[in-house]
Structure 1
């Protein structure tokens, strides 16, 4: 009977220790991968853009509305660009990845880092959050969820999530200014009609600030846990003082 109890107790100790170890290793792997991704270099980067009022486009594509195109008016556009600004039916040099994005090659190290920060920064932030929370996991597994310092660690983890969220939203927007300038300066040929060099009109593409709201959920959850942990620690301290 005693052997069974001892074996059960050993399993209860080993299980949390393994979980904490796996979390720690996974966190460091995420950080290393994120940093490696950041420094590996990028041959091409994509940033979110929007069409300015000077380049109204059809709702289903990135083909600008041009005066007199199409001749039957089937594009159903509002104000149109002049025919000498852009050939009718010629698509703009943008792609669609959850909205219009502009792509540029050899954008420079800083621009590439800012443009790709949602990818590599997400791994680094996730790893940092897990490392901050490892002591919380360890104390909780030991039966002391309100251990001293847990509330502060949870608050720090929430701050890391918020900081990473802001940087991931602002970084591509800042990088988009340089990428748009490169797109406007890059020579290209028409895809429709007679082959000729097609300059990109300045001001048709503008940086677009796209804010993903889902990171607020884990940040708010961590902040709520920090508040609960602080309250629990205070109650435990008060109770211990009465004993």
Structure 2
């Protein structure tokens, strides 16, 4: 069962220039918990992730990770605290090989007892072992997503964040990604995931946060979300 709060986002406000996107958004993730962030396109999901990671700094509110305030920290220090990001669009290094992508940022700064290694990533995604000498831009979209997940795991994060986990992937690859996330959850990995597949999210996530126009409008369990089709229709367009 989840225990202590790992990530706490409270009342953040984030702007791009004069355009405000987040209006007092809040969410939380406990250690060992898998949580989704849901909402229609353009409602602020990616901006929330960018605010957490320090890529677009929130101008107000608090963002605490493992008890430490980090809203003012630069992105590289946030990553070193133990947050691994699988960004929207994958953003792997196109001019590095698969192996180089995986080892470039590998670290065990937090002294994980059973750290991720190249061999473990290859066991998780055998295709990456087969494609180890290929350049990043020679991979299919599904292989690039596997590589992005593997690269994040090689930092041995306390929290793994995935922005659009299965967007644009073939059905078989999508299922492979969901199976991977289920396995990671079983290992006790804390996960924050954005995706549009409500069925899969409610099957494997512990809790969900729904946002609308930069505000948290609902939070609850998978059972509660599944039991409320009106809520899904109103905020998720289902």
Q: Same fold (TM over 0.5)?
A: no
The bucket for the TM-score relative to the shorter chain is: under 0.3
Higher strand share: 2
TM-score (structure 1 length as normaliser): 0.19
In our comparison, the structure showing a higher alpha carbon Rg is: 1
Higher helix share: 1
TM-score (structure 2 length as normaliser): 0.19
